[in-house]
Amino acid sequence: MDEDLLREVAELSRRIAALPRLKPVERAKQARGLVDEGKRVLSAVGDAAVEELTRHVSYREAAGLLGVEPATVNKAVTRHRRRTPTQNQ
């Protein structure tokens, strides 16, 4: 995982850990925002892991290991590469 993504995971984790210390109204507001942020960050983590896997095995092999179709692997790799254009240069 690249450093930016690691920082995002750490920040998300920090914000989640802080939730119990907040008052109920603020906790509810923060939790709602964290749902979307969590989906975005965790999707990026998953896509990065799939892309890393495809450096070692074919898309077909990766799909078999993950229990998905090769097209799903391709989509994850494409999303990851779109997010991290500097790796493709």
Residue 88 lies in a domain: no
pLDDT (0 to 100) of residue 89 = 43
The total number of structural domains in the chain stands at 1
- Residue 24 maps to a domain: yes
Structural domain includes residue 37: yes
**Has residue 87 been placed in a domain?**
no
Decide: pTM greater than 0.85: no
Residue 42 domain boundaries:
3-82
Residue 40: both structure tokens together:
């975005």
Among 34, 35, 33, 40, CA closest to 79:
40
Residues 46-84 have pLDDT tens digits of: 999 999 999 999 999 999 999 999 999 999 999 999 988
Alpha-carbon gap, residue 21 to 67, rounded angstroms:
39
What is residue 87's predicted lDDT score, i.e. its pLDDT?
54
Residues sharing a CB contact under 8 Å with residue 63, sequence separation 6 or more, in sequence order:
69, 70, 72, 73
**What's the pLDDT score for residue 86?**
67
89 in a domain, yes or no? no
Closest alpha carbon to 54 in 78, 37, 35, 30: 78
Residue 1 has pLDDT above 90, yes or no: no
